[in-house]
């Protein structure tokens, strides 16, 4: 739902879908006129914003134009403040990912060696990741760059970040999200059973080599339950994260509701991260290409509700994507508008003349109908160094 500031509403507005004060209290039904007394009551109760999945409609076009202009400015300002706070936390993001990689390496190797693996250390890192993303929902903006150079550990960490955001969008409780992230961080321990010669092979794998890779979910499940003594509901994610919703995955070809909720989340995020990461035989692919591939296969491979929610929370050009606009400017997708996957909010990094704006400049594509994203770009090919852009926004007023 989109939030609308009460101070920008005028009597006589209606919305194409119901308007809510909070998720359980409706202010007005679809196409029901909001009166001045309704607005006075909201102000008396000190309610500053309402929510609707619909579009505002005014009979007076001037009032509509004023409201939409104010709404656009308010939403952009909120995103600007969130980004400025977030970019200050990039060193913390780096510290979390680096320390979690170290914890996972120790845990995975101890599991393989049957040497007293400490799953509680992994749980602590799961809580740290989940809290960081829940406190900073736009933190996934850092992931496309982080997820390019993936090893086993950084792969599951990137998956954990994406899974947290998806869990929030699915209205999972905080304890449930913690369990989800914990299970995902452990899900690839069976990959340590796959020889490096297969993992690093640049040529097409033989059928025998594919079978070795396809056995890693079973190895992982057995190691987690028998050696690490992880409970079955969590270890199941290791067993099922390569299953498909239509039963064409591996290792057991289960489908639909036979997959656990956590495994259905894991199936989406592990595919997305695998596509954008570098392989021995190709460079990392763009997040847009990954999202497009997931949507193409989605009606078969993934829970359709979970996949739509993933799209809604990340957009067609996912958050963190460097893109080229229709006016030749270069931007960074920084906010996804639910239900409008082609119309995100974009931070402009270079204007149409190739110049970095002197102050923060955004395109809110819901309100700028004459502009659209023309294509995704690799940051280096667009002449962009993202850490420099983060610092530049922090330095701007």
Sheet with 25-28, edge to edge strand ranges: 2-5, 49-52, 19-22, 25-28
Closest CA to 221 of 209, 233, 210: 233
Q: Which of 57, 31, 164, 174 is nearest to 100 (CA)?
A: 164
List pLDDT tens digits, range 231-243. Answer: 999 999 999 999 9
Query: C-alpha distances in angstroms, 74 versus 8, 47, 276, 299?
Result: 10, 16, 33, 37
pLDDT higher than threshold 80 for residue 353: yes
Residue 44: HSE in the Cβ half-sphere, 13 Å Cα cutoff: 6
pLDDT in the model for residue 397: 61
The mean pLDDT value of the chain amounts to 94
What angle is formed at CA 264 by the lines to CA 261 and CA 268, rounded to 5 degrees? 145
What is the CATH T-level fold of the domain 89-314, as seen in this structure? Hypothetical protein af1432 (1.10.3210)
Length of the chain: 397
For the chain, percent of residues with pLDDT exceeding 90: 80
Residue 21 has pLDDT above 80, yes or no: yes
**Which residues lie below 8 Å from residue 135, measured CB to CB, with a gap of 6+?**
none
Return the percentage of the chain with pLDDT > 70, whole number: 99
H or E stretch at 15? strand 14-15
Token pair recorded at residue 87:
């970019």
Q: Cβ atoms within 10 A of the Cβ of 233, count?
A: 12
Encode pLDDT of 278-332 as tens digits: 887 788 899 999 999 999 977 789 999 999 999 999 999 999 999 999 999 999 9
pTM for this entry: 0.89
Pair of tokens at residue 339: 């239900």
Extents of the domains making up the chain = 2-59, 89-314, 322-395
Each residue of 166-206: pLDDT tens digit?
Answer: 999 999 999 999 999 999 999 999 999 998 888 888 888 88
Burial class (CB in 10 A: 0-12, 13-18, 19+), 148: middle
Q: Quick one: tokens of 206? A: 């033989």
Interatomic CA distance for residues 295 and 283, integer angstroms: 21
């Amino acid at each position: 739902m989109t939030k609308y500031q009460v101070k920008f509403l005028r009597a006589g507005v209606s919305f194409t879908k119901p308007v809510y004060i909070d998720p359980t209290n409706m202010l007005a039904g679809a196409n029901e006129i909001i009166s001045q007394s309704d607005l006075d009551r909201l102000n008396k109760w000190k309610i500053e914003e309402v929510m609707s999945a619909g579009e505002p409609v005014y009979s007076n076009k001037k009032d509509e134009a004023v409201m939409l202009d104010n709404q656009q400015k308010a939403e952009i300002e909120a995103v600007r403040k969130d980004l400025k706070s977030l970019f200050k936390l990039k060193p913390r993001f780096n510290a979390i990912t680096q320390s979690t990689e170290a914890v996972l390496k120790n845990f995975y190797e101890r599991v393989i060696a049957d040497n007293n693996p400490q799953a509680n250390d992994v749980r602590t890192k799961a809580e740290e990741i989940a809290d960081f993303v829940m406190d900073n929902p736009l933190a996934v903006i850092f992931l496309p760059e982080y997820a390019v150079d993936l090893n086993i550990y950084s792969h599951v960490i990137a998956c954990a970040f994406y899974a947290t955001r998806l869990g929030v969008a699915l209205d999972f409780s905080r304890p449930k999200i913690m369990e989800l992230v914990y299970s995902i961080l452990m899900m690839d321990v069976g990959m340590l059973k796959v020889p490096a010669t297969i993992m690093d092979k640049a040529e097409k794998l033989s059928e025998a080599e594919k079978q070795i890779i396809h056995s890693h979910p079973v190895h992982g499940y057995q190691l987690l339950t028998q050696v690490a003594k992880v409970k079955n509901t969590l270890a199941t994610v290791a067993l099922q994260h390569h299953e498909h919703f239509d039963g064409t995955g591996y290792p057991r070809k289960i489908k639909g509701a036979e997959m656990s909720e956590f495994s259905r989340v894991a199936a989406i995020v592990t595919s997305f991260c695998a596509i954008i990461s570098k392989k021995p035989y190709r460079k990392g692919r763009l997040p847009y290409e990954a999202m497009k591939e997931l949507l193409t296969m989605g009606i078969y491979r993934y829970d359709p509700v979970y996949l739509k929610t993933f799209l809604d929370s990340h957009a067609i050009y996912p958050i963190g994507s460097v893109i080229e606009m229709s006016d030749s400017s270069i931007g960074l997708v920084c906010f996804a508008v639910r239900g409008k996957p082609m119309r995100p909010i974009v931070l402009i990094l270079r204007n149409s003349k190739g110049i970095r704006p002197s102050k923060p400049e955004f395109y809110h594509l819901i309100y700028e109908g004459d502009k659209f994203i023309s294509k995704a770009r690799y940051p280096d090919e667009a002449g962009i160094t993202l850490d420099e852009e983060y610092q530049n926004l922090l330095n701007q007023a």
